[in-house]
Structure 1
Amino acid sequence: MGPRRTTLSFSSEDAPELEDTHKVFVYYCKYSGKHALTTDCNLNTAPRRRTDHALVIDTTKYTAKLYTTDGGAKFLKRRSGTVERQYRFNIGKLPIGYRTEPEGKYLYIFDDALTTLSVDESGASNNGSGKPPIPPCIVPTPQGGTKVALEIEDRGPRHVILKVSADSVRVQTKNAIQSSGLVEELLDFMRGLLGVRLAQMQLERGETPRNKTLVIDNLAPDIVFQKLAGAVKNFKPKRRY
C-alpha cells in the first residue's frame, strides 16, 4: 500500500482564495484539536443529509479547503438496499467527512466531528489571534459567576485538563464515571486549579453521565478560561518508550 496522502481540497481548480473581506470559518477536529477545514460556509446553518445527518457543503457555491489525509473508500449499505461508496477524509485515523464521488460537488461533514475553536497544548488559540476568545462552553451566570461545560474521560492515570474546545472542557479523572468518588475528585481538582473554595462550586448533571456542568460563584469567565487554558499548556503527556 502506498503512502498516505495529505489532502488540500478546494471547491474547484480555479476556486478563489478565501479573502479577508468575506466571512471565513475555521474548523478543527473536535477530538484531536487539529485544523481540519477552512471555508466560507457556516456549518451552523448548513443543510443536513437525510441518511446520516451529515452537514452538506455545496462546493459550487462555497469554497472549502480541507487539511486532511486520504481515508480511503468505504462501502455502506443503506436502508433502501443501495450500496454507497464514501471517499473519506481523515484527521489522523478519525474520519471527519467524505464525498460520494471522487470529484463530487457535495462535501459531507460528519455530525459532531468539527468545532470552531481549539486551544492546544501550547495554550494558544488556533484562530490566529494573539488572545484567544472565551469559548462558548464557558459562560457567565446572572449572579456574577461562571458555568463550565465539562466532558469527562474517566479511569486515567491522573486528573488533568486535556483540552478546551468550543463545546466543552475535557477533563481526565482517575475515578470511573459511575464511581461515588468522581464528584469529590472533580471538585477538589477544580478547587486547586481555579483557586476557589469548595463552597463556591456546584456540579450539575449533564445530558449524559460523561457531561457535567461546573458552576463557580464569584469568578469571572475570563479568569476561569485563563486558568483552564494554562492547565492545558502545562500538561505534558508521559512519553512511552
Structure 2
Amino acid sequence: MGPRRTTLTYSSEDVGPVPGDKPLFVYYCKASGKHALTTDCNLANVPRRRTDHALVLDTQAHLVKLYTTDGGTKFLRRKNGAVERQFRLNCGKLPVAYRNDPDGRYLYIMDGALTTYSADDALLGGRAPVPPCILPAGNNKTQVALEIDDRGRMRLVLRVTADFVRVQIKSSISSSGMQEELLELLRGVLGVRLGQMSLQRGESARHKILLIEGLAPDVVFNKLQASVARNPRTLGRSSKHVINTSIVPMSAPEEPAGAAGTGGGPGAADGGAAAAPK
C-alpha cells in the first residue's frame, strides 16, 4: 500500500505558487498563529545549525514563499567571540527566521518558532488541532474569523484555513440582508439558535467575527469541517479560486546534529563554504 495523502482545499492567496504536483507544507507562527511560510520542503527533514539549533532551509533547492515582515538587523556575539549579523523576519512583532545576508541562499528558521496543523484526523473521523481562526472567547463563547464570498450560486462553508473560515452567500456583501443570510447559513451548519450567535466587524467588509455561545472551539471546528466535506464538487463562483495541496504535520528531526555535519546537500549549509555560519 502506498503512502496515504490527504487533500485540503486552500485558496490561491493562502498557498502561493504551486510547483507542479509537489506537496506543499504550510507553516504558521507558533505564538500568533499567523501564516508564515509555504514551501515544498518538509522542515522535519532539514538540518539544524549547531549554534542555535535553527532549521536550515536552502532557498535555491526549494520553493519558499514567506509571509513575514522586516524585523530589522540584530548583532549577536557567539561563544567563540565572533559577532554574527542577522537580518530578521517577523510575524507581527515576533522574529521567526533570519538570514545572514538579505539575499542569502540559506533561510534560518528559529527553533520552535513555526508549527502546522493537519486535517488528516478530522477527515478520517478523529480529532485534529483547532486552527487559530477559531478561538475561545470567554464566558462559554467561541470566536470564529470569517471571510465572505458573495453572489455565489449556493450558500456554503467553502473551507477552513488557519486565518479564516471562508463562506459563500448568495446576496451581495453590501446588501441589507447579508448578515441575516450569513447567520442563517451558520445556524444550520452549527446547529444552534440564532440567539446564540452574534456578528462583529472585521478588518474589511468581507471579514466578520462570529461569536457563538455554548459551543467549544473543537466542536465548532468539527461541525465546520463536516459541512465542508458535504460540499458538492461545483462550488459556485468561488470554485475558480480553489486548488489542492497536501499538508503534512511538522515534527522534529531525529538526529539533527548528524544531518548537519555530513557530506553535501543541505547539511553543508552548517559547516561548508557556502556562507552559512555555524
Name the TM-score class by shorter chain.
Answer: 0.5 to 0.7
Report if aligned partners of 2:26, 2:37 keep a CA contact under 8 Å in 1: no
Question: Mapping of 1:41-60 within 5 angstroms?
Answer: none
Q: Do residues 193 (structure 1) and 185 (structure 2) align? A: no
SS in 2 for 1:132: coil
In structure 2, how many angstroms separate the alpha carbons of the residues matched to 1:188 and 1:224?
Answer: 16
In structure 1, how many angstroms separate the alpha carbons of the residues matched to 2:164 and 2:135?
Answer: 11
In structure 1, how many angstroms separate the alpha carbons of the residues matched to 2:189 and 2:180?
Answer: 14
Residues 117 and 181 (structure 1 numbering): CA distance in 2 closer, same or farther, change over 3 Å? farther
Which residue matches 1:11?
A: none
What is the CA distance between 1:31 and its match in structure 2? 3.1
Which residue matches 1:231?
A: 227
Between structure 1 and structure 2, the one with the greater Rg is 2
What is the CA distance between 1:222 and its match in structure 2? 1.6
Report if aligned partners of 1:201, 1:214 keep a CA contact under 8 Å in 2: yes
In structure 1, how many angstroms separate the alpha carbons of the residues matched to 2:210 and 2:197?
Answer: 7
What is the CA distance between 1:149 and its match in structure 2? 0.6
Relative to its length, the structure with more helix (as a share) is 2
Report if aligned partners of 1:200, 1:216 keep a CA contact under 8 Å in 2: yes
The one of the two structures with greater contact order (alpha-carbon pairs below 8 A, sep at least 6) is 2
Q: Do residues 150 (structure 1) and 146 (structure 2) align? A: yes
What is the CA distance between 1:130 and its match in structure 2? 4.9
State TM-score, norm by structure 1: 0.53
Extract unaligned runs of 5+ from structure 1: 1-27, 46-52, 72-99, 108-113
Q: Do residues 104 (structure 1) and 105 (structure 2) align? A: yes
What is the CA distance between 1:118 and its match in structure 2? 5.7
Instruction: Output the amino acid matched with 1:161.
Output: V
Which residue matches 1:31?
A: 14
SS in 1 for 2:183: helix
What is the CA distance between 1:137 and its match in structure 2? 1.1
Instruction: Output the amino acid matched with 2:136.
Output: P
What is the CA distance between 1:123 and its match in structure 2? 5.0
Which residue matches 2:123?
A: 124
Cα deviation per residue 1:37-91 (whole Å; 9 max; x = unaligned)?
378xx7569xxxxxxx999xxx98533389x9989xxxxxxxxxxxxxxxxxxxx
- Counting matched residue pairs gives 165
* Aligned-pair Cα RMSD in Å: 4.4
Instruction: Output the amino acid matched with 1:177.
Output: I
Report if aligned partners of 1:115, 1:167 keep a CA contact under 8 Å in 2: no
In structure 1, how many angstroms separate the alpha carbons of the residues matched to 2:63 and 2:133?
Answer: 31
SS in 1 for 2:226: helix
Extract unaligned runs of 5+ from structure 2: 1-9, 39-47, 65-101, 109-113, 240-278
Report if aligned partners of 2:122, 2:222 keep a CA contact under 8 Å in 1: no
Which residue matches 1:62?
A: 55
In structure 2, how many angstroms separate the alpha carbons of the residues matched to 1:204 and 1:197?
Answer: 17
What is the CA distance between 1:187 and its match in structure 2? 0.5
Which residue matches 1:136?
A: 132
What is the CA distance between 1:188 and its match in structure 2? 0.5
